[in-house]
Structure 1
Amino acid sequence: MEQMMAKYDPEAGFRRLTGILGWIVTILLLGFSLYQLYTSTLDRFSPQVHRSIHLGFALSLAFLLFPASKKRRAKDTKRKFQITWIDGLLASLSVVVGLYWPFNISDLVQRVGRLETMDLLIGVLAIVLVLEATRRVVGIPITIIATVFLLYAYLGPIMPGFLQHRGIGIERIIRTMFFTTEGILGTPLKVSSTFIFLFLLFGAFLVKTGVGQYFNDLAVALTGRRTGGPAKVAIFSSALQGTISGSSVANVVTSGSFTIPMMKKLGYRKEFAGAVEAAASTGGQLMPPIMGAAAFLMVEFIGGITYWEIAKAAAIPALLYFTGIWIMTHFQAKKIGLKGLSKEEMPDRKEVLKKIYLLAPIFVVVILLMSGMSVTRAALWSIVSCIVVGAISKDTRMGPKDFAEALMNGARTAIGVATATACAGIIVGVVTLTGLGLKMAGGLIDLSNGILFFTLFFTMVASIILGMGSPTTANYVITATIAAPALLALDIPDLSAHMFVFYFGIIADITPPVALAAFAAAGVSGGEPLKTGVNSAKLAIAAFIIPYIFVYSPELMMINTTWDQTLWIVFTSVTGMIAIGAAMIGYWMRKTHWLERIICLAAGIMLIYPEGSTDLFGLAVFIGLFALQFFIKRNESEQRPHSAGA
């Protein structure tokens, strides 16, 4: 599993340091978590100071833990001194950058943006360190995008067409990037250094209490015996894993190493087994309450909206996404005659259900957020609930060593988020300096001739391209900064526009040709990567349809709806997903004709679109198709014994 994680998820490829270096890293990781807990409970520094210290921790740990390349990592494990002198130098310089604001804040504030030579050197160093740390920890795609944006800021006069601008001087670029809250120390890093870190710590404590493994046990106990059981186990466990993970690839490898072999053993093709896990794991990022930590960023980017409103808006779409995958795996199992797990392969359901209390911390965080408690306090109390729940059983009770490991694991996970959000801050800073967001909006609207559907289509394509290879948090920052303004320019509600680009940025992980989650699943299953990606996109068809409905009919996000309207929307939408699933797989109660598949798809889309006339018409078509399938199936069943007797 570690090898697979390191291959497909750069954040998992960290060194296992020992000796003095191991102790240094341990102290830094513990210090990182304890500092974050301190600032969230007892004291508050100024924004620049707090974010700078947060960045300093993340950068120094990045250079100590993550080698310059995979080849370098293999060599470093054989060395007596496990890091190179360059790594040590970069880690030391990261400490200097992280402490520059705390030690010079009075002077920097008094000079009001006027930079001296040392300031310029530190600013350049901060940009270079952020880019290199991001490349090592997160991967090269987002690093390239940020570098291109920096070049764009400077080379504006020679840019073609609507991208042209007057050009930004180097000193102004540096000032914006590190000496304001518009660049590296901007909103993305703000959210990383507050809400996201605490929820990553919450996830680390959940894992230590055994919740991660319990997700799998519960999924098997509830769904293993059903038709195509292992595929449903994958969907159920990945949806739950998504509540504590911010990485599609990490979801795939951790739960897929357990579910994919089961699916293959049952009879699913390698590519389909991998696709189920990839689609379900990617959907974990769309799953409330945490949504891969992007929900907290959305609060900051949209403004004037609460976290709970975002989580509520994401609930029905997430339900439809997983319903679609569930239905399609069920129809696929029926189509090829697969059953569930045998009784011998099943865990003792009573024993599994006895440990249902392990899910309490997840309910705690949801209830606290629903009650209106601040996100920070909700996260802190949720961490406390993990410790309390873990203490119930001897197997999950946390001792001092477990507590320290949870703090270290949370901090280690935060390195990738901090570097990615700092790098995304560079992109946001350039957009702010150059007005690129408005330029891109104008370009997309001109390209679509102002027609809403075509603007949505081109924004979808842009979001998928921008989202390729980026982790969830950076993914959302980039798409919200560059792609969302095109929709906002057409007076589309903020939440609809941001959810639209968020969805398409996320499903880039399962959209060929760059489908990292699908490729990771293919690595586990042994299937062909591109075919796995195509199957993943097919299973996740809901994610390609639902965002359009966000825009045309926000009722799907429970905006301005009553409870009875919401229940009707859920009923018609789930019914619609059954029809779409039958269309995509080519099976319902029996194999469907191509014309039936087209009618199923049309009926499904009409049912998902929340409007009275389309709902009624779609429901009538659905009932007609259901009756047709039922009677043909019954006639075929009656004729088989007759034919056998003849």
Structure 2
Amino acid sequence: MSENAARGGTATSNEIDLQELVAQSDTGARSPGGSIGLLLSLVALSWSLFQLYYASTLPFLLTDLLGVNVTLNSDTARSVHLAFALFLATMAYPLFRHSSRHVIPWYDWILAFLGVASCLYLVFNKEAISDRAGLPTDMDLIVSTVGMISMLIATYRALGLPLVIVASAFLFYVFFGDQPFIPEVIQWKGASYGKAMWHYWMQTEGVFGIALGVSASMIFLFVLFGAMLDQAGAGNYFIKVAFALLGHLRGGPAKAAVVSSAMTGLISGSSIANTVTTGTFTIPLMKRVGFKPETAGAVEVSSSVNGQIMPPVMGAAAFLMVEYVGVTYLDVVRNAILPATISYIALLYIVHLEALKQGMQGLPKPGPAKTVLQSIIGVLTGFLSLAILAAVLHYGLGWTKDVFGDATFQAVVVIFLAAYAGLLYVASKRPDLELDDPDAPITSLPEFIPTLLTGLYYLLPIIVLVWCLMIERFSPGLSAYWASVGMIVILLTQKPLKAMMRASGDVAGQAREGVSDLIKGLIGGARNMIGIAVATGAAGIIVGTISLTGAHQIMGEFIEFLSGGNLMIMLVLVAIFSLILGMGLPTTANYIVVSSLLAGVVVEIGAMNGLIVPLIAVHLFVFYFGLMADVTPPVGLASFAAAAISRGDPLKTGFTAFFYSLRTVALPFLFIFNTDLLLIDVGPIQAVFVFIVATIAMMLFAAGTQGYFFARNKAWEAVALLLIAFTLFRPGFWLDMVQPPYVSTNPAQVFETASELPADGYLKLVVRGPDFDNPDKELETFVEVPLGASGDGETRLSDAGLTIMEEDGKALLEEPFPGTPYFEKFQSFDFYGDEPVQVVDVQTPANRLPKEVFYIPAILLLLVVVGLQRRRTNVPAF
């Protein structure tokens, strides 16, 4: 609801257009009234209740109580999940642009019924289908065909043509990939109609694969949690707190927009919704303090899209990475948190530089003006408070298990309720936060502490989420479930309890409002999920095609051919392909498509060039570049949404946002070569050091690209700042030029070399041999072998999963056994041809200078630039 509508006024045409844009992209533009509207709401409500039931322990309790199995397996849950999504997509999203927004035509009822029936067919015939083992009946093929068509139509409704075109192209390749008009380099043998439909619809290799499973088990609950948090008023609270904290600084509204978008991005799965939610308030304020319309829109777009890279949700991609990379959810959060945080800090600094260039001032702040020293002390106190809060949460939450033991869960429930009652009492002593009109004059900013205290209880469900994930080590789905239960309690009780604590107002009426808010939150969460659920199903077509045809290997060969084997050119090509494939796709589908096609390419070609890249780094690389499509014209939908608010030029807004997002473009290249940024094998003290250095480096990168540091940059100063930033990010680049990172030894002495290395050391082997698919072609790749405990070299290599034989001065490699770490790694080699597969080089880490020594010349050069620029300006840096 818009601000005017919330106050009982009339929404402007611009607000209506924005509501329409969000509805078309996220929740569905159709809102029929009467009994049909009620039916639509009841189905959405039922979907949320079903997902809560599936995530809870209630099915197991009811099974024990009733003696009848009412639990749901993963396959059934996926089918029901997609059935709800197809029905709501058909009902909520008009098929044609000119279709009525208030009446559902007869053909939509038919399409909705067919989509639901195609999904539920798998539920009611699951035993018969499993018995057929790949031999589909005519009815199976009819249902599969109808289901695929229904899903593609629903995808078109909810997400537009881009994903439909991509999925259709992959379907076309499956059936016609053996035809002469297909270039020979990408041809494959083709598949029969029955085999393909069985693969796509009747099994868990295609539509009902991992992506849809993650949507049903994890993503829905996080989106629902975010929807209920927003319905409770947390979105407005985050914006008000950000403005109270930062609005008085130079370019304060823009800085507040960045912070509020970051906080909203923690719970949002949509760049566009984030842009409109915070931008409706922040963009007009940015314009009022001097920002151009395009600049104001670009700042909002950059910060909103950045919300998709910020844990814990990451546009739902975090949960997919758990399955695709094979790591825990906490690992994904740990790996992703530092680049996302650095990117947001750099955006804040970009806003500050823009404000400096234009001589802007902040908004008036209540109370006496503070000196520079008081401001610095205030900032340090804020950081210290956050650090203390983080320590209290970490050690305090861990302490509960030590004290309460088996009763920890019950104790935490009591602590939650007590903390909620206390914080709600504090909030009740202050007026509730109202939605402000961004076009109304601002005489002063709200005070920070009173504003902060009005909604601290909103943080409790987030603390529950952290506790479940980090202390109890629950699954992400179960953790989100308990956090959602906390939100349900808050939605039901916050208004009536405040009325009781204030001893005023209609408590019964407030209780009814609480129930209404809960129902709206449950319905809103389901409607927010329509596009994501349909996207994961449609993206399953791409994943299914890859598993059926091996298309990712063809893509890898194509990119290898274009890059000529050059690692940097390959990374640039992968970035460009990710950007193109991501155009017009929502975050979830975007990640599925680009990671399925391109993640393996980076790993394989990197290994051929001697760069061993962790898989999580590769997935984050393609994820970052796929997201840039939300910013970049001509498809950047978030840029169009921001331009609609700012009344600026959409294309100029998009290009400005892309320019501001160069820091996000640079980060993936940096953490591919310097995995310290992902906190991989980094201890706590080193992590703090990496964070500080990387933050400084990214701010210098921003200063170099924005043309302003302490004063306007001269050309050589901009180059110097970029060079300094690069050195701080990747000092190992310069060290590699001075001292090689590895020392080569004779392959025939691989056992002796492995014996001499210390415990937990590693070898880097260069393996060469004939290609299994093309015996005339020779393959070469690098592999890093961790050796574990000290001991005999042959034993250490065998324990690592490699069998090597020394013969005639050569180190011959045997085919790794299935299930060992290197079985899939070496599947492309022909171990049974005339030419053996052999280790042609053995490399051990060299004893070198610490790479941080190159920080010294970088800092000296920085001091020179600072000294020269300070002479040219009298404007305070802050």
TM range (shorter): over 0.9
In the alignment, what sits opposite 1:641? none
Q: Please state how far the C-alpha of 1:553 moved relative to its aligned partner.
A: 1.2
Q: Does 1:620 align with 2:860?
A: yes
In the alignment, what sits opposite 1:86? 107
Deviations 1:316-372 (A, max 9, x none): 101111112111110110111111112323123232111233223223323322222
* Larger fraction in strand: 2
* Larger fraction in helix: 1
Q: 1:226 aligns with which of 249, 259, 262?
A: 249
Structure 1 range deviating more: 270-279 or 162-171: 162-171
CA contact (8 A) 1:142 1:469 kept: yes
Q: Does 1:316 align with 2:338?
A: yes
The alignment partner of 1:168 has SS state of coil
In the alignment, what sits opposite 2:599? 484
1 CA distance for matches of 2:41 and 2:639? 34
1 CA distance for matches of 2:645 and 2:302? 14
Deviations 1:113-153 (A, max 9, x none): 21111111100011101101011011211111001110011
Deviations 1:225-278 (A, max 9, x none): 110011001100111111111111111111111111111111101111110000
Deviations 1:563-617 (A, max 9, x none): 2211111111111122122222222222221221121122122222365244333
Q: 1:363 aligns with which of 459, 463, 471?
A: 463
2 CA distance for matches of 1:387 and 1:419? 26
In the alignment, what sits opposite 2:483? 382
Q: Does 1:572 align with 2:587?
A: no
CA contact (8 A) 1:289 1:366 kept: no
CA contact (8 A) 2:347 2:660 kept: yes
- Letter of the 1:312 partner, please give it: R
Q: 1:399 aligns with which of 504, 509, 514?
A: 514
1 CA distance for matches of 2:617 and 2:101? 48
Q: Please state how far the C-alpha of 1:2 moved relative to its aligned partner.
A: 4.8
Alignment of 1:298-313 (within 5 A): 298-303=321-326, 305-313=327-335
Q: Does 1:214 align with 2:237?
A: yes
Alignment of 1:188-207 (within 5 A): 188-207=211-230
1 CA distance for matches of 2:19 and 2:305? 15
In the alignment, what sits opposite 2:52? 37
Q: 1:115 aligns with which of 133, 136, 143?
A: 136
Q: 1:62 aligns with which of 71, 85, 89?
A: 89
Q: 2:193 aligns with which of 153, 170, 183?
A: 170
In the alignment, what sits opposite 1:147? 168
Q: Does 1:559 align with 2:680?
A: yes
Q: Does 1:49 align with 2:49?
A: no
Alignment of 1:238-253 (within 5 A): 238-253=261-276
Structure 1 range deviating more: 400-409 or 4-13: 4-13
Q: Please state how far the C-alpha of 1:47 moved relative to its aligned partner.
A: 2.9
CA contact (8 A) 2:134 2:198 kept: yes
Deviations 1:464-517 (A, max 9, x none): 111111111101000110111111213422111101001101112112332221
Deviations 1:29-61 (A, max 9, x none): 121111111111233423332211111111011
In the alignment, what sits opposite 1:341? 363
In the alignment, what sits opposite 2:449? 350
In the alignment, what sits opposite 1:644? none
2 CA distance for matches of 1:142 and 1:357? 40
- Letter of the 2:355 partner, please give it: A
Q: CA RMSD in A?
A: 1.8
CA contact (8 A) 1:257 1:524 kept: yes
CA contact (8 A) 1:238 1:284 kept: yes
TM-score, normalised with respect to structure 1: 0.94
Q: Please state how far the C-alpha of 1:389 moved relative to its aligned partner.
A: 4.4
1 CA distance for matches of 2:666 and 2:631? 15
CA contact (8 A) 1:573 1:609 kept: no
In the alignment, what sits opposite 1:643? none
Q: 1:184 aligns with which of 207, 216, 219?
A: 207
Change (3 A) 1:161 1:329: farther
In the alignment, what sits opposite 1:503? 624
2 CA distance for matches of 1:392 and 1:401? 12
Runs of 5+ consecutive residues of structure 1 not aligned to the other structure: 638-646
Q: 2:547 aligns with which of 420, 432, 438?
A: 432
CA contact (8 A) 1:576 1:605 kept: yes
CA contact (8 A) 2:674 2:729 kept: no
Identical aligned residues as a percent: 38
Q: Does 1:297 align with 2:320?
A: yes
- Letter of the 1:234 partner, please give it: A
The alignment partner of 2:709 has SS state of coil
CA contact (8 A) 2:28 2:89 kept: no
- Letter of the 2:475 partner, please give it: S
1 CA distance for matches of 2:275 and 2:731? 33
Change (3 A) 1:532 1:56: same
Structure 1 range deviating more: 354-363 or 265-274: 354-363
Q: Please state how far the C-alpha of 1:22 moved relative to its aligned partner.
A: 1.5
Give the aligned length: 629
The alignment partner of 1:11 has SS state of helix
2 CA distance for matches of 1:326 and 1:617? 27
Structure 1 range deviating more: 31-40 or 424-433: 31-40
Q: Please state how far the C-alpha of 1:5 moved relative to its aligned partner.
A: 4.3
Q: Does 1:472 align with 2:587?
A: yes
2 CA distance for matches of 1:541 and 1:361? 34
1 CA distance for matches of 2:132 and 2:271? 44
The alignment partner of 1:70 has SS state of coil
Structure 1 range deviating more: 243-252 or 42-51: 42-51
In the alignment, what sits opposite 2:849? none
CA contact (8 A) 1:500 1:547 kept: yes
2 CA distance for matches of 1:7 and 1:201? 21
Change (3 A) 1:59 1:614: farther
Deviations 1:442-479 (A, max 9, x none): 21122212221111111000101111111111010001
2 CA distance for matches of 1:442 and 1:621? 43
CA contact (8 A) 1:480 1:501 kept: yes
Q: Does 1:101 align with 2:122?
A: yes
Q: Please state how far the C-alpha of 1:379 moved relative to its aligned partner.
A: 0.4
CA contact (8 A) 2:115 2:151 kept: no
Change (3 A) 1:512 1:287: same
1 CA distance for matches of 2:527 and 2:663? 34
Q: 1:7 aligns with which of 21, 24, 27?
A: 21
1 CA distance for matches of 2:41 and 2:489? 25
Q: 1:460 aligns with which of 565, 575, 581?
A: 575
In the alignment, what sits opposite 1:420? 535
Runs of 5+ consecutive residues of structure 2 not aligned to the other structure: 1-14, 60-70, 366-442, 500-509, 608-612, 733-851
Q: Does 1:546 align with 2:667?
A: yes
The alignment partner of 1:157 has SS state of coil
CA contact (8 A) 2:535 2:589 kept: yes
2 CA distance for matches of 1:559 and 1:485? 20
Structure 1 range deviating more: 227-236 or 165-174: 165-174
CA contact (8 A) 1:607 1:619 kept: no
- Letter of the 1:352 partner, please give it: T
CA contact (8 A) 2:290 2:360 kept: yes
2 CA distance for matches of 1:367 and 1:442? 45
The alignment partner of 1:360 has SS state of helix
1 CA distance for matches of 2:307 and 2:118? 35
